[in-house]
Amino acid sequence: MRILVTGGAGFIGSNLCARLAKNQDDQIICLDNLQTGSMQNISGLLDLPNFEFIQHDIVEPIDLTADQIYNAACPASPPAYQADPVHTLKTNVIGILNMLELARKNNATFLQFSTSEVYGDAQVHPQPEEYWGNVNPDGIRSCYDEGKRAAEALCFDYHRMYGTKVKVIRIFNTYGPGMNPQDGRVISNFVNQALRGEDITVYGDGKQTRSFCYVDDLIEGIVRMMHTPEDILGPVNLGNPGEFTMLELAQQVLKKVPNGSKLIYRPLPKDDPKQRKPDITKAEILLHWKPEIALSEGLDKVIDYYRNIQQKNA
């Protein structure tokens, strides 16, 4: 098959490309505008005969042949998507329209990378797929939150109107190799601050919670979703239901990187969710999937990854 991965040089996209490229019978086309993606993430794939990289922004149409399309194109960390909020919205509306048209033309299966951010500052805990969310429509995070909600709507409307084969997953906090050290998300922040011997920045009182899924577990769930029967559309939550406060995460990092760091506190960013935990019942039933890598084990892997980066840059 010809498999298109948009945002394929990004954190999750590059890990997905590496997984898919192992099947040498498939041709993998990695599409990325390199706004937040990196050629370093796919450097080990460029010489493979079944891998191709195209630098392109999905806001602009492109004509390709594909049997499957994984749409991962969009900055995902708040500093990245807030840097150009208009382009973030364009990616989530105009970009996905271009990719859905491509899927429609090719009769391809289209898998949309949505996000737990569609739930906003959730008033239901944990968050099941049936929950409609509590999202600020005009805040600083709206370009991403509302953009992803619009993208989901477009997927299901294309299915209803044109019979396009669509699937939607909602990704909860994910971490692992390939995540930019300056990504701005909590695990990359905490680990890199600790490795540099800097104080760890905790926002708010540190009692807000997140659930962290190691990227290998996530990729397994994504691939399983793509290969479900056509009548399984989603949305399906993918994440690790283990829930930790920011203080608990910081304490784990301090224990694993005893480098003299202390905790410092800063005001909580606007519209930052207080709780985040996926209900993965649907994933367990439909995909026979659940994460296997605990936070402690995953942190060891990501600490080694960032330590190697710092040593190379020293």
Give me the helix-helix angle, 186-195 and 246-256, nearest 10°.
30
Alpha-carbon gap, residue 43 to 93, rounded angstroms:
30
Alpha-carbon gap, residue 7 to 32, rounded angstroms:
5
Assign 217 to helix, strand or coil.
Answer: helix
Task: Answer whether 50's CB lies under 8 Å from 28's CB.
Answer: yes
Assign 234 to helix, strand or coil.
Answer: coil
Q: Which residue, chain included where needed, has tokens 């367990």?
A: 284
Determine the residue type at 206.
Answer: G
Assign 252 to helix, strand or coil.
Answer: helix
Catalytic residues: 144
Joined tokens for residue 3: 């498999």
* 299 CB-contact burial (10 Å; exposed 0-12 / middle 13-18 / buried 19+): buried
